Amino acid sequence: MHPWHEDDEFWAALEPQLFDEARLQAAPNEAAYAASLLGLSAGASVLDLCCGPGRHSQALARRGYKVTGVDRTGRYLRGAEERARAEHLAIEYVQSDMRLFRRENSFDGAISLFTSFGYFENQDEDLQVLRNLHASLRSGARLVMQLAGKEILARLFAPRHWIEYPDGSYFLAEREVAGDWSGIHNRWIVIRGAERKVFEFTHRIYSAVELKGALGAAGFSSVNVMGDLDGRPYDREAKYLVAVAAK
């Protein structure tokens, strides 16, 4: 049986929920904030790791950057490539596992947004991802990561919620704390008409201190944390855990 993050049915079934219109509309502003945090110069090369359907990679390409988007899900990459072609955006898309993708000293900046980290049962594999990112950056380049931080999840924790979408579909989520707050165990249910799909998985979660420690162990020389891509403080009103790490 494949791990949850390698289940193509999971990513296909959840695509409308994960990438709804609000998130698509938010991508240009998020990409602009990320580019500012990266300190990119004109024409810089950027890695978008776990790019999904390409919403941030395309927004960065529109700003004139040379972008490489990496994801393991072929469905998402095919959609990203079609949209990039329609806009005449020259984006390189690569299908690869983030534990394996590594391109030595190739990028002027890298992003990992929308909690695209913490998928693996073995925490050493998370560290391998960070080491790959460090190796793929040029000297002095930065990485921007955006996660649902442990402190934020603890503050806002709700054991269940549901959403009704305009197309009449429903998304129901149940969650419980796992492993002494090392992760969240999720049970997600998608209902469309008579079709009902259920997915269960555990996602590792990081506090600011834990993420800074992991980035340091991967070789990054300095790490600053903030409460969103707009640079607000990482305090009790933080929206996300954002880390800016320099090689």
DSSP state of 227: S
Q: Quote the pLDDT of residue 20.
A: 92
Q: Quote the pLDDT of residue 96.
A: 98
Q: What is the pLDDT of residues 150-183, one digit of tens each?
A: 999 999 999 999 999 888 999 999 999 999 999 9
Of 232, 33, 69, 41, nearest to 140 (Cα)? 41
Q: What is the largest CA-CA distance in the chain?
A: 54
Q: Which amino acid is at 15?
A: E
Average pLDDT, integer, range 96-122:
98
Average pLDDT, integer, range 215-243:
98
Q: Quote the pLDDT of residue 2.
A: 84
> Of all helices (H) and strands (E), which one includes residue 38?
helix 21-38
Beta-carbon contacts of residue 26 (< 8 Å; ≥ 6 apart): none
pLDDT at 1 over 90: no
User: What's the full length of the chain, in residues?
Assistant: 247
Q: Quote the pLDDT of residue 167.
A: 87
Whole-structure pTM value: 0.97
> Alpha-carbon distance 83 to 240, whole Å?
28
Using pLDDT thresholds of 50, 70 and 90, give the confidence band for residue 126. very high
Average pLDDT, integer, range 5-17:
95
CATH 3.40.50.150 matches 4-148+206-246: yes
Q: Quote the pLDDT of residue 193.
A: 93
Strands (E), the chain: 45-49, 66-71, 92-95, 107-112, 137-147, 160-164, 170-178, 183-192, 195-204, 222-226, 241-246
> Alpha-carbon distance 188 to 175, whole Å?
9
- Could you give the angle at the alpha carbon of 167 between the alpha carbons of 166 and 168, nearest 5°? 90
Beta-carbon contacts of residue 143 (< 8 Å; ≥ 6 apart): 109, 110, 111, 112, 133, 134, 137, 215, 220, 243, 244, 245, 246, 247
- Could you give the angle at the alpha carbon of 164 between the alpha carbons of 160 and 168, nearest 5°? 145
Contact 59, 27 (CB under 8 A): yes
> Of all helices (H) and strands (E), which one includes residue 58?
helix 55-62
Average pLDDT, integer, range 178-200:
96
Q: What is the pLDDT of residues 23-80, one digit of tens each?
A: 999 999 999 999 999 999 999 999 999 999 999 999 999 999 999 999 999 999 999 9
